């Protein structure tokens, strides 16, 4: 069988299948012919017909999907969510519905790049500025919004402005570093005006932060070096005003 195929190259049936978009492997699978044999026949065919490869690639391009009722509902939900929150959904969100919307949007972006996005989706998404933006930019924006929300909740719980020093650990350090970065950008004029206005509205006083000399809220004062409660100071202690500021 293989010898016959090699001698009769190119096999018209295989060329037709290739022209309609089937791959070499798929043709071999459907006909039962060796993959190498099919490849040889197609190589010969491409030499005889220079436009064959272009026809094959045109046929393999995915046809635009048809929008579904569920897809249109997702579209409406996405538009409402973005317009209400001012940001695009994140696949890393703790909210399941947001992750679902983010995944749906990523698929539409991929289809738009491939030219297979249904026209109804394309028209609907066009009301959202930059919806096809670079994934990294979109991801950075989502993380910025998440940090903002986390800091609003942090301050709303009665805690002071978070610190960014290396000695601080956990959520306070993460939020402190983020807040320090926003202040740095604001001082250099590099902070997006819209973000600056958002911070001013949701976190009044964020630019100045902690008042000088004020103890962090929720943290007990450290022992200043004076005697323990109930212990009378010695004469030497009394001569050291730095230990007893209330005597000054």
Q: Is the pLDDT of residue 22 over 80?
A: yes
Lowest mean pLDDT among 50-54, 142-146, 225-229: 225-229
Q: Are 145 and 87 in contact (CB under 8 A)?
A: yes
pLDDT score, position 24: 86
pLDDT score, position 101: 93
Q: What is the mean pLDDT of residues 96-122?
A: 87
Among residues 42, 64, 62, 41, the alpha carbon closest in space to that of 53 is found at 42
Average pLDDT over the chain, rounded to an integer: 79
Per-residue pLDDT of 36-58, as tens digits, reads 999 899 999 988 888 888 888 77
Q: Is the pLDDT of residue 26 over 50?
A: yes
Q: What is the mean pLDDT of residues 79-108?
A: 90
The pTM for the full model equals: 0.37
Per-residue pLDDT of 208-221, as tens digits, reads 888 765 555 554 44
Work out the percent of the chain whose per-residue pLDDT is above 90: 31
- Compare 142 and 30 and report the one with higher pLDDT: 30
- Compare 163 and 234 and report the one with higher pLDDT: 163
pLDDT score, position 32: 87
Residue 128 has which token pair? 């959202």
For the chain, the structural domain boundaries read 2-60, 69-132, 138-202
Distances (CA, A) of 142 to 5, 87, 123, 191: 58, 7, 24, 16
Give the CA dihedral 241, 243, 247, 248, nearest 10 degrees. 50
Q: What is the Cα–Cα distance from 56 to 41, expressed in whole angstroms?
A: 15
Q: Is the pLDDT of residue 228 over 60?
A: no
């Amino acid at each position: 069988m293989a010898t016959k195929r090699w001698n009769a190259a190119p096999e018209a049936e295989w060329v037709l299948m290739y022209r309609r978009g089937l791959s070499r492997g798929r043709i071999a699978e459907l006909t039962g012919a060796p993959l190498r044999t099919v490849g040889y026949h197609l190589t010969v065919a491409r030499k005889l017909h220079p436009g064959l490869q272009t026809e094959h690639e045109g046929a393999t391009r995915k046809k635009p999907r048809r929008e579904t009722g569920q897809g249109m509902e997702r579209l409406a939900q996405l538009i409402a969510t973005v317009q209400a929150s001012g940001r695009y959904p994140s696949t890393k969100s703790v909210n399941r519905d947001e992750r679902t919307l983010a995944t749906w949007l990523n698929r539409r972006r991929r289809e738009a790049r491939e030219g297979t996005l249904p026209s109804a989706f394309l028209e609907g998404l066009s009301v959202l500025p930059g919806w096809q933006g670079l994934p990294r930019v979109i991801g950075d924006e989502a993380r910025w919004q998440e940090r903002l929300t986390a800091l609003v909740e942090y301050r709303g719980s009665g805690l002071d402005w978070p610190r960014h020093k290396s000695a601080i650990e956990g959520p306070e350090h993460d939020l402190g570093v983020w807040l320090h970065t926003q202040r740095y950008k604001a001082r250099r004029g590099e902070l997006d005006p819209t973000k600056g206005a958002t911070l001013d509205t949701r976190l009044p006083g964020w630019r100045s932060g902690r008042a000088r000399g004020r103890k962090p809220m929720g943290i007990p004062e450290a022992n200043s070096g004076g005697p323990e409660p109930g212990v009378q100071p010695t004469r030497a202690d009394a001569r050291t005003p730095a230990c007893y500021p209330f005597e000054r």
